[in-house]
Amino acid sequence: MLVLDSVRKCFLLDRVLYTRHAKEEMLGEERGAITEGEVFEAIQEGEIIESYPDDEPYPSILVLGKTGEGKIIHVVCAYSEQDGLAIVITAYEPDPSRWINGRRRR
């Protein structure tokens, strides 16, 4: 939970880096683009549903969150303690054929 708290703090302080991959995924969403504001909402209200401690260069987490309008979003992000920076690796709407309620893989 500490990692998510650190990521949330970075979002509040505008210390967030979006990877090129994240930007491309957000813009290319089938059901409409995901905005940075929606990612912010999802992170602030979200919960960690998977952790990837062996990811390099930083361990990452998969956060399930909802926007203010109820859109379910997955955000994969990492936290750089050294830089005090949240790194958004990707953000997307979970495919119902691959996820049960956005929470569990089928």
pLDDT tens digits for 37-63? Answer: 999 999 999 999 999 999 999 999 999
99 pLDDT above the threshold of 80? no
DSSP 89: E
The CATH code belonging to domain 2-105 is 3.30.2310
Alpha helices in 1-106, H assignment, sequence order: 2-12, 20-27, 36-45
Beta strand segments in 1-106, E: 16-18, 47-52, 60-66, 72-80, 85-92, 99-100, 104-105
Q: Report the predicted TM-score, pTM, of the whole model to 2 decimal places.
A: 0.90
Tell me what the mean pLDDT of segment 91-101 comes to.
Answer: 83
Q: What is the largest CA-CA distance in the chain?
A: 38
Average pLDDT, the chain: 92
Contact 104, 84 (CB under 8 A): no
Q: So what's the pLDDT on residue 30?
A: 85
Q: What percentage of the chain reaches a pLDDT higher than 90? A: 79
Q: So what's the pLDDT on residue 95?
A: 83
Classify residue 60 by burial, with Cβ atoms within 10 Å: 0-12, 13-18, 19+.
buried
What's the one-letter identity of residue 78? A
